[in-house]
Structure 1
Amino acid sequence: MQINKVMVIGAGQMGSGIAQVCAMNGYDVILHDLKEEYVERGLQRIGKQLQRQVDKERISEADMDRFLRRIHSSVQLSNAENVDIVIEAALENMEVKKNVFAQLDDIAPDHTILATNTSSLPITEIAAVTKRPEKVIGMHFMNPVPVMKLVELIRGLATSDEVFDTVKTMAEELKKTAVEVNDFPGFVSNRILMPMINEAIYTVYEGVASPEDVDEVMKLGMNHPMGPLTLADFIGLDTCLYIMETLHEGFGDDKYRPCPLLRKYVKAGWLGKKAGRGFYKYE
């Protein structure tokens, strides 16, 4: 199975990053979102990222122009009728993803692989709304996509070996390291990371230490490049809460219960860096 043309659904930070690395590694890319302004914002983000690479003399101006020409904008899901793989990077919400995959199943050719960049939701459940569950797979990139080397490849219950091997080859062509993961809540990355972040929030909630001191302990004592509360602000506290709720529901184990302080911050709109305030304040 050969992949030449890629459609990325969602032109936000993750989707634009996926589109960028695909274009930089020879793929023809359709970047899709609900509105032209969303796609344009994603293209501008890609342009800025590539310009930084030019400024650092890692790529040439000609390279940047060539990469950008490979990316085509879309606001019509019907553009999936000519692609070899769709990588969905839409909102982390099961109903949204099911709706998108049901539509893609009707539009995309029979050979097209349907991949999702979900960070925690069950691949098998998403695949169940299609007539091609063997061609549905999780392809979880890390943020920021152009920098981070890992991609979790998550098999659904029915994902075929051929599809897995094809997507693994693609990930390697994107200069990523692909790790095979089975379909459990949170996969590997967020099953380990989010409880750590949640426990860090509990230490603040219980008055054990300040956010700054919690982060210092983990940076200086555990050699983490970024403290867990800074990382939570970067990810988005709403996203952290959603993933913790997914883990709690999926395993039925109270060790995954979201900290009440996390819920309070999300209800207050303190979502982290994107909102200007989370555990820290941002200009």
Structure 2
Amino acid sequence: MITGVVGGGTMGAGIAHLLLAGGHDVTLAEAGPERSDAARRAVAASLAKAAERGKLAVAPEELLAGLTVVDDLAGLPAAAELVVEAVPEDVDLKRRVLQQVASVCPQAVLASNTSSLSISALAEDLPGERLVGMHFFNPVPVQELVELVHHAGVGPDVVTRVRTWAEALGKTVIEVRDSPGFATSRLGVAVGMEAIRMLEEGVAGAEDIDTGMRLGYGWPMGPLRLTDLVGLDVRLAIAEHLAAELGPRFTPPALLRAKVDRGELGRKAGQGFFTW
């Protein structure tokens, strides 16, 4: 299958890795030569790491032969069947990207990797019948879940095709109606914000809060370490969106805002609720 990915950050590079490992040709679009080069290196590093762990059936070099990196959306293949958008969580940016992709790739299913933004809102001024939410989780090649989000205007055949593709990539799919935060972000952010409030109030230390959720509730990772992995800035933006849509129970704690202001964004910055 001919596929495209827009955005070569952590999520976009992971999605490109997944598609390549699934035997698909991938065109990865980034903005400008420097970011395009960085995206190519990120995909190569991800594949190499998977090979070291014995998770690839094919040598990374062979898979990379199926990767094309371009620095303009016009370079996406017109014959693409699936294009996944993985740019930052900004409605206007995502709309602009999806509108251009829809024009360049007239037959492609358009999938947004948004973790909380309304798919219906993104579908405005688009051929909405071919747009879905395809929410992957970080790290994409490892995490089993894909959250398939459908809105009222999407064609049922598109939902079926996306589910089939995701399952063929080894993912477990849950279907969710378009609503603020979908299912996973809404629940994950609710627990994450409460964990931060507990830390802020001195109820317990970060390690103890996380250990309580791991050993008491079977979480593979505690909510504070998970927030570090996702990125405190990303979690803050999602919480602000959910607070605006669903009410004050999602209001971000002052501690989260303070850490983001100080640049303590989690693993990617070396410091968040833990030191990495």
Instruction: For residue 46 of structure 1, report the CA deviation from its aligned partner.
Output: 2.3
Q: Could you tell me which of 260, 265, 269 is aligned with 1:271?
A: 265
1:59-112 Cα deviation digits (max 9, x unpaired): 46x532221111111112112333122100001111110111122233221x22
Q: Does 1:142 align with 2:137?
A: yes
User: What secondary structure, in the 3-state scheme, does the structure 1 residue paired with 2:252 have?
Assistant: coil
The question of whether the paired residues in 2 share the 8 Å contact of 1:118 and 1:138 is answered with: yes
Q: Distance in 1 between matches of 2:88 and 2:55?
A: 32
User: What secondary structure, in the 3-state scheme, does the structure 1 residue paired with 2:185 have?
Assistant: helix
Q: Could you tell me which of 92, 103, 106 is aligned with 1:106?
A: 103
1:19-65 Cα deviation digits (max 9, x unpaired): 111111121110110022222222222222322333344446x5322
Aligned AA for 1:261? L
Q: Could you tell me which of 33, 48, 51 is aligned with 2:48?
A: 51
CA gap 1:170/1:233 in 2 versus in 1, 3 angstroms: same
Q: Distance in 2 between matches of 1:76 and 1:51?
A: 26
Q: Distance in 2 between matches of 1:254 and 1:236?
A: 22
Aligned AA for 2:134? M
The question of whether the paired residues in 1 share the 8 Å contact of 2:6 and 2:12 is answered with: yes
Q: Distance in 2 between matches of 1:59 and 1:207?
A: 45
Q: Could you tell me which of 64, 67, 84 is aligned with 2:60?
A: 64
The question of whether the paired residues in 2 share the 8 Å contact of 1:101 and 1:129 is answered with: no
Q: Which runs of 5+ in 2 are unaligned?
A: none
Q: Distance in 2 between matches of 1:239 and 1:58?
A: 29
Q: Does 1:193 align with 2:188?
A: yes
Q: Which runs of 5+ in 1 are unaligned?
A: none
TM-score (norm 1): 0.92
Q: Distance in 2 between matches of 1:107 and 1:202?
A: 46
Q: Distance in 1 between matches of 2:131 and 2:54?
A: 38
Aligned AA for 1:119? S
Q: Does 1:21 align with 2:18?
A: yes
Counterparts of 1:1-283 in structure 2, within 5 Å, are 4-59=1-56, 63-80=59-76, 81-109=78-106, 111-130=107-126, 132-251=127-246, 253-282=247-276
Q: Distance in 2 between matches of 1:255 and 1:51?
A: 42
The question of whether the paired residues in 1 share the 8 Å contact of 2:21 and 2:56 is answered with: no
User: What secondary structure, in the 3-state scheme, does the structure 1 residue paired with 2:170 have?
Assistant: coil
Once superposed, what is the RMSD of the aligned Cα atoms? 1.5
Q: Distance in 2 between matches of 1:220 and 1:168?
A: 33
User: What secondary structure, in the 3-state scheme, does the structure 1 residue paired with 2:132 have?
Assistant: strand
User: What secondary structure, in the 3-state scheme, does the structure 1 residue paired with 2:59 have?
Assistant: helix
Aligned AA for 1:115? A
